[in-house]
Amino acid sequence: MITEATEVRVPVRRAMEVCPVEVAVAVLGGAWKMTVVKNLLDGPLRYGELRRRVGDVTPRVLTRQLRELEQDGIVTRHAYAEVPPRVEYSLTSTGAGLRDFVAELNRWGDEYARRFG
């Protein structure tokens, strides 16, 4: 059960009425969301480090993906009261629950790439 989300986004709410797979796709199906989750499984990251690890993503797209993941209870954003400002992103307990799923996706992707790549 997702307890960290404050309000379920409309696409997620619609998917909840249909199928659990559609819920997962609605929450995790963004262009870079799984890559963000995979990188945050190693621990909290600042925005710049996360952007470097994710790769070829624009700041605008990464920010949007992070906001959606935060709204859906997968990622938490912690802003420190420091100068210069420091912000870290980390997985919530719900997000950390994706560890086995990400490992299986990694295994499947590796197998697929070897077979068809």
Interval 53-65: pLDDT, tens = 999 999 999 999 9
* CA-CA-CA-CA dihedral for 116, 54, 100, 74, to nearest 10: -140
**Omega of the bond leading into 59 within 30 degrees of 0 (cis):** no
User: Residue 15: what pLDDT?
Assistant: 61
pTM for this one?
Answer: 0.85
What is the C-alpha separation between 77 and 62, in angstroms, rounded?
Answer: 13
Residue 8 has pLDDT above 70, yes or no: no
Residues in contact with 74: Cβ distance below 8 Å, sequence separation at least 6, in sequence order? 4, 27, 28, 33, 37, 91, 92, 94, 95, 98
Report all structural domains of the chain as residue ranges with CATH numbers, in order of start. 10-116 (1.10.10.10)
16-20 own/partner pairs: CB under 8 Å, 24+ apart = none
